[in-house]
């Protein structure tokens, strides 16, 4: 009954007048930037090369100037400029066929958009910028792994360098550098989520591509260390810890699946499924219980969860 009464209240949420215009502006900027890129793709042969470049460069220049001169619209205009930079480099690469690897274009996109993000100081830009950086790292791994997505022993150095770059991104968008970057919690969470996906997928590849590679145990150790650090009172962040715990659980369950597939359980598929299900459920329950306990501790100490 109390839920029904609360749901039927006619009062407007206190923060709606503040966040609704901002959300609509950010959505409009994202749709506008993507719309310009799609419009150019649809009119590839009708405008000519000069017209396409003029339109994209004009978009970047106008939105960049608007972000600098209009503080209230800085975040959405900055996002539109960031998308415009990406569209400009994509068109440049398609037009001139420079022979550059795709990761170089994404890396250059991230480098040129970095001053824009530092100036806007908003997660509206930092979150997509983290995605651009992670895409560049992933494409770099693909390039230096023989243009293959498989995981082989000879690729360990490449994967370790990629993980180092990924952790550097996470650290740069953490609260410890917020006074310099202006990045908030969602920029950090975006970087953590992308980092967990990258480490987990690489470690899974090391587990299931032929014999078990060093990438798998190293991935488990890395995520376990990250979970330990994020569990400390100083670094605790519930979303980041949940993402790391999910990745670690997936790796541990995957390890059990691999072990059972190579053991003496080959004929007992029902027993294997039961054991895997119980193990996965137990890991999930333990992870959720631990995260809830840490969250209550953080709330008791007055720290943001």
CB–CB of 132/110 below 8 Å? yes
What gap in Å lies between CA 144 and CA 44, rounded to an integer? 32
Task: Output the CA torsion 53→105→166→30 (10° steps).
Answer: 20
What pTM was computed for the model? Answer: 0.84
Give tens-digit pLDDT for 125-150: 999 999 999 999 999 999 988 877 78
Q: How far apart are CA 298 and CA 143, in angstroms?
A: 43
Q: What does DSSP assign to residue 12?
A: P
Site of tokens 């530092």:
118
- In whole angstroms, give the CA distance from residue 198 to residue 159: 10
Question: Tens of pLDDT along the chain (305 residues)?
Answer: 555 455 555 555 555 555 566 667 667 777 776 777 676 666 666 667 777 788 788 888 888 898 888 888 888 888 888 988 888 887 777 777 766 788 988 999 999 999 999 998 888 899 999 999 999 999 999 998 887 778 888 889 999 999 999 999 999 999 889 899 998 899 999 999 999 999 999 999 999 888 889 999 999 999 999 999 999 988 899 999 999 999 999 999 999 988 887 765 566 778 788 889 999 999 999 999 999 999 998 888 765 55
Element holding 298 (H helix, E strand): helix 269-300
Q: What secondary structure, in 3-state letters, does 102-117 show?
A: HHHHHHHHHHHHHHHH
Total Cβ atoms within 10 A of residue 201: 16
Q: Where are the domains positioned within the chain?
A: 147-305
CB 219 within 8 A of CB 251: yes
């Amino acid at each position: 009954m109390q839920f029904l009464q609360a749901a039927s209240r006619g009062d407007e949420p206190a923060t709606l007048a503040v966040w609704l215009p901002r959300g609509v502006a950010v959505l409009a900027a994202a749709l506008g930037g993507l719309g310009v890129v799609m419009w150019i793709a649809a009119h590839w042969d009708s405008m000519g090369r000069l017209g396409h470049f003029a339109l994209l460069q004009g978009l970047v220049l106008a939105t960049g100037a608007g972000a600098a001169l209009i503080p209230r619209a800085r975040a959405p205009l900055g996002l539109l400029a960031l998308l415009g930079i990406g569209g400009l480099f994509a068109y440049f690469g398609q037009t001139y066929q420079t022979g550059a690897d795709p990761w170089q274009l994404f890396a250059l996109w991230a480098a040129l958009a970095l001053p824009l993000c530092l100036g806007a100081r908003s997660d509206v830009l930092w979150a997509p910028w983290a995605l651009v950086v992670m895409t560049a790292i992933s494409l770099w791994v693909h390039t230096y792994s023989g243009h293959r997505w498989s995981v082989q022993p000879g690729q360990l150095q490449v994967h370790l360098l990629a993980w180092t770059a990924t952790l550097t991104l996470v650290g740069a968008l953490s609260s410890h550098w917020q006074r310099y970057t202006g990045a908030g919690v969602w920029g950090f969470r975006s970087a953590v989520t992308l980092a967990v996906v990258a480490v987990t997928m690489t470690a899974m590849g090391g587990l299931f591509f032929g014999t078990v590679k060093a990438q798998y145990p190293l991935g488990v150790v890395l995520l376990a260390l990250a979970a330990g650090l994020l569990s400390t009172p100083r670094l605790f962040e519930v979303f980041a810890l949940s993402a790391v715990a999910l990745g670690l659980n997936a790796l541990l369950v995957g390890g059990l699946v691999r072990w059972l597939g190579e053991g003496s359980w080959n004929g007992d598929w029902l027993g294997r499924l039961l054991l895997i299900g119980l193990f996965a459920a137990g890991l999930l329950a333990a992870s959720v219980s631990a995260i809830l306990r840490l969250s209550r501790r953080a709330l008791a100490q007055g720290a943001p969860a």
